[in-house]
Amino acid sequence: MRQGNPIRRAVRPLLAAGWLGASLLLMSASPVADGQPELVAHRGASAYAPENTLAAFDEAVRLGADWIELDVRRTRDGQLAVIHDESAERVTGTAKRIGGTDLAELRQLDAGFSFRGGAQHRSDDSRASGAAAVQRIPLLDEVLERYAGRIGLLIELKDPALYPGIEAQVAERVKPFLGNRLLLQSFDLGSLERLRRLLPEARLGALIGEEAAAEFADGDWREQARSWDYVNVQTTLLDRRLVKLLHEEGALVMAWTVRSPEDRQRLASIGVDGLIMDDPRL
């Protein structure tokens, strides 16, 4: 499996000084040094099993993904649950707010309910373990214990402003696992700053979408690249020039969310470091 870029922080000051040797070092450490971006299973292999469940994460491992991407929120009783939306309704069919419900109640819900009854289910050649079974909303602790060291973990803090202090909780949970491939990301740059203060050794990624980037100039992109280990960008924003700019400032780039072979080919050709996709076999 391709490795990440553990020396990038050490290289950044040299890049800022304009040292050619440092630039060459960064290029050699990039995940795409072999010409292929890393494959990130979006919410697990969510084309084949219910998103953000152990079944989807197991399937991502089976299919040979390099990373799994997952989302973290906090329950009313302070537990870190792996689920994308603040309401459980889309995936479970039951309208429960994550932040307004205790974990024990959420664990009674079936996180695969909508998947099994919806158009997103893929039956062709899928052997996703447990995809047809009842799936419970996992805890972050369960995911860390089960997968750290087996596959990279890309952990997104969802709407952290809704859960004051969640950064400290996440930092405490992930700290023992930082020797493995682990990356924390968020759309909330203030949350990333808090994580940096709490866990300076962690790798951090900024998520940038069309709305945030609407008024971005080159200087804004450069600032993001200098601030974070990864800048993870919506596919529609990415072209060869932007990827080159971000690389020049020391950041690695993941593209989200890749849903067609044409997009995969285009993004690989312009040098992105990772492809975040529902189907790692795309």
Tell which residue, 63, 56, 116, has the closest CA to residue 84.
56
Token pair 């009674």: residue: 108
Fold assignment, 8-277 = TIM Barrel (3.20.20)
Q: Which residue has the higher pLDDT, 85 or 7?
A: 85
Which 8-state DSSP code applies to residue 257? E
Indicate which residue of 12, 42, 74, 121 is catalytic: 42
Indicate which residue of 12, 73, 84, 194 is catalytic: 84
Give tens-digit pLDDT for 91-144: 999 999 999 999 999 999 999 999 988 544 444 444 455 666 899 999 999 999
Distance CA 106, CA 72 (A): 14
The domain ranges of the chain are: 8-277
Residue 121 known to be catalytic: no
Token readout for 189 is: 């740059």
Q: What dihedral angle (degrees, nearest 10) is formed by the CA atoms of 238, 242, 248, 249?
A: -80
The pLDDT assigned to 117 comes to: 84
Give tens-digit pLDDT for 237-271: 999 999 999 999 999 999 999 999 999 999 999 99
Neighbouring CB atoms inside 10 A of 103's CB total 17
Q: What is the mean pLDDT of residues 62-67?
A: 98
Whether 71 and 166 have beta carbons less than 8 Å apart is answered as: no
Distance CA 64, CA 36 (A): 14
Residue 42 known to be catalytic: yes
Token readout for 267 is: 């993004």
The pLDDT assigned to 129 comes to: 56
